[in-house]
Amino acid sequence: MNHNPYPFSRRRLLAGAAAASAVTVTGVAVAPTAATATPVRATAPLVTRDRVATAALRAPDGTAAAAAFKADFHARLSAWLAFWSANSPRAWSAPVHVVGRVAPAGDALTLHAIRYRRDDELRAGFVAGRRDRGHTATVASLHHHFPSVRVLPDGAVRVGDGPAGFTGAPGQVAFAVAACRELWGDGDATAARWAEHAGRALARAGQPADAASHAGWAAFTRISLRRGLGTESYE
């Protein structure tokens, strides 16, 4: 089965990711002193960016918003947006705006909206205050790429830097239950037996796996993104 039937050609510009430069410090060896006994770790400088991949970064009030990012976090955001775009309907252009705020430390983003163009009109594929299937699908895409994903009371989603994977965090379990209910029609999904319910969705998609495993979690979040955005029904 081809699990991603949609061509990537219109989105290849999203494949780029920022690279962090390495800094090496050398010096003359001296006898340890109180000042030199504790090693000092160099902190990588933040990088200032006004885009995530090819999408312009906008503040929630609509203004352009260059922000300081940790280089690795910006690279993960670019990879995530490419993933979201590659699994969106063919009629949608690559995202043109990412609306959100970056944390002062450069390692977290609060996402408010993703906008694309269709028929020369600017439209939203995700909006914080619109709790629809697209919202759940976008949360799935974020769980696919980040270990920390939290839906705020207003519907905005805060993501933190780090390698993706299932950790058993309450936010991951809450998402899995919501996805099973809202996207897969499994109204009996519960936190206590979420992996069983998610496993049903995986089997339905022809990808049987333990949803609590690294591969199973990646597959579950991927198929939930596609089902939520309407690019796969898995019927």
Residue 95's closest CA among 49, 52, 134? Answer: 52
pLDDT higher than threshold 80 for residue 224: yes
> Mean pLDDT across the chain, nearest whole number?
86
pLDDT higher than threshold 60 for residue 15: no
Residue 98's closest CA among 127, 121, 132, 119? Answer: 127
End-to-end CA distance of the chain: 13
Tens digits of per-residue pLDDT, 17-50?
333 333 222 333 334 444 444 454 457 799 999 9
Structural tokens at position 37? 């006994």
Q: Which residues contact 88 (CB under 8 A, 6 or more apart)?
A: 116, 125, 229, 231
Confidence of residue 217 (pLDDT cuts 50, 70, 90): very high
Give me the long-range contacts of 232-235 (CB less than 8 A, separation at least 24): 232/3, 232/205, 234/201, 234/204, 234/205, 234/206
pLDDT higher than threshold 50 for residue 131: yes
Q: Which residue has the higher pLDDT, 24 or 128?
A: 128
Instruction: State the number of CA atoms in the 13 A half-sphere of 119 facing the CB.
Output: 1
Confidence of residue 4 (pLDDT cuts 50, 70, 90): very low
pLDDT score, position 42: 56
Q: For residues 206 and 189, give the distance between their C-alpha atoms in angstroms, rounded to a whole number.
A: 20
Burial of 224 (0-12, 13-18, 19+ CB in 10 A): buried
pLDDT higher than threshold 60 for residue 168: yes
Q: Which residue has the higher pLDDT, 21 or 60?
A: 60
Report the predicted TM-score, pTM, of the whole model to 2 decimal places. 0.82
Tens digits of per-residue pLDDT, 84-114?
999 999 999 999 999 999 999 999 999 999 9
Confidence of residue 1 (pLDDT cuts 50, 70, 90): very low
pLDDT higher than threshold 90 for residue 187: yes
Structural tokens at position 220? 């579950």
Proportion of the chain above pLDDT 70, given as a percent: 82
pLDDT score, position 44: 79
